[in-house]
Amino acid sequence: MDNSKDDLGERIFRRALERRDDFKQFIDKLTKKQRYENSSYLKQFLLGVVDNLTDIDEINRLAEDFGCNHVQFRANGFKPDFFACTADAVTTECTFLDQAAHPTSETAAAWSLLTSHVFSAVRDGYYAELRRQRKSSNAFRARVSVDVVSTGTDDGTSLSSATRRSNSPQEEIAENYEHHQSTSTHHHHHSSSTNDSCVESSGNFLAPPTVY
């Protein structure tokens, strides 16, 4: 990696673009700033891996962090399959950096073995972060659902009102009938009292005066 250039990440991206059209579409959706940041991050990531070849735990940590960082680009069309074409591009580009100091086949095999392990950990980090975000989202939705049930319906109506509206047709008919009967009985009693009063008044009016 001593022969690496400042644009190593960008060169790897360009090589990966040639391998997959959908990866090119993803890169095209990024802003210039995002593309620059991603290519720079890729280079720094690879340098970190090479600097820690004897520390597998640190390599795995760097790889998982690299994978986690890419979950945010799902909205731009990123797919975890892109890690495979990126790994192939890394192997090819880094083999060229050796400048034939070692047999090309040996250099390519060494880089292929390294990138295979590294990008496997990258995928693990990506999926771990994806699961964490989904779990957090599901927990939030469940909490909102519990709040709605405990306070009322989602349209602001109290739960008791919603329950009352959910009576069966038979119950509504029975309630209407009882209400009608009660109203009719009250009306009948009122009419009878009124009629009796009228008859009594009429009787008093028609009766001849009493002579004492």
Taking Cα atoms as reference points, which of 24, 31, 64, 29 lies closest to residue 45?
64
Phi-psi region of 20 (alpha: psi -120 to 50; beta: other; left: phi over 0): beta
- The model carries a pTM of 0.64
* Per-residue confidence (pLDDT) for residue 93, from 0 to 100: 93
> What's the mean pLDDT in 29-41?
95
Q: What percent of the chain has pLDDT over 90?
A: 56
| pLDDT tens per residue, range 86-124 | 999 999 999 998 887 888 899 999 999 999 999 999 999
Torsion angle of C-alpha atoms 28, 74, 40, 91, degrees rounded to 10 = -90
Q: At what angle do helices 104-151 and 82-97 cross, to 10 degrees?
A: 150
Specify whether the CB–CB gap between 71 and 126 falls below 8 A. Answer: yes
* Per-residue confidence (pLDDT) for residue 84, from 0 to 100: 96
* Per-residue confidence (pLDDT) for residue 172, from 0 to 100: 56
Question: Using the 8-state DSSP alphabet, how is residue 212 labeled?
Answer: -
> What's the mean pLDDT in 128-132?
95
What rounded mean pLDDT belongs to the chain?
78
Identify the three-state secondary structure at position 171: helix
Q: At what angle do helices 21-29 and 82-97 cross, to 10 degrees?
A: 90
More confident residue, 164 or 70: 70
Considering the domain delimited by 8-151, tell me its CATH architecture: Orthogonal Bundle (1.10)
Planar angle of CA 74, 79, 84, nearest 5 degrees? 145
More confident residue, 212 or 188: 188
Tokens matching residue 137: 């989202």
Tokens matching residue 81: 């399959």
Tokens matching residue 190: 């009122």
Does 17 score more than 70 pLDDT?
A: yes
* Per-residue confidence (pLDDT) for residue 6, from 0 to 100: 79
Phi-psi region of 55 (alpha: psi -120 to 50; beta: other; left: phi over 0): beta
> What's the mean pLDDT in 136-159?
61
pLDDT band at 47 (very low <50, low <70, confident <90, very high): very high
Question: In angstroms, how far is the first alpha carbon of the chain from the final one?
Answer: 139
How far apart are the C-alpha atoms of 182 and 196, rounded to whole Å?
21
Does 30 score more than 50 pLDDT?
A: yes
Half-sphere exposure in the Cβ direction for 127 (13 Å, CA): 9
More confident residue, 155 or 64: 64
Q: Which residues contact 115 (CB under 8 A, 6 or more apart)?
A: 87, 88, 90, 91
> What's the mean pLDDT in 152-173?
49
Domain residue extents for the chain? 8-151
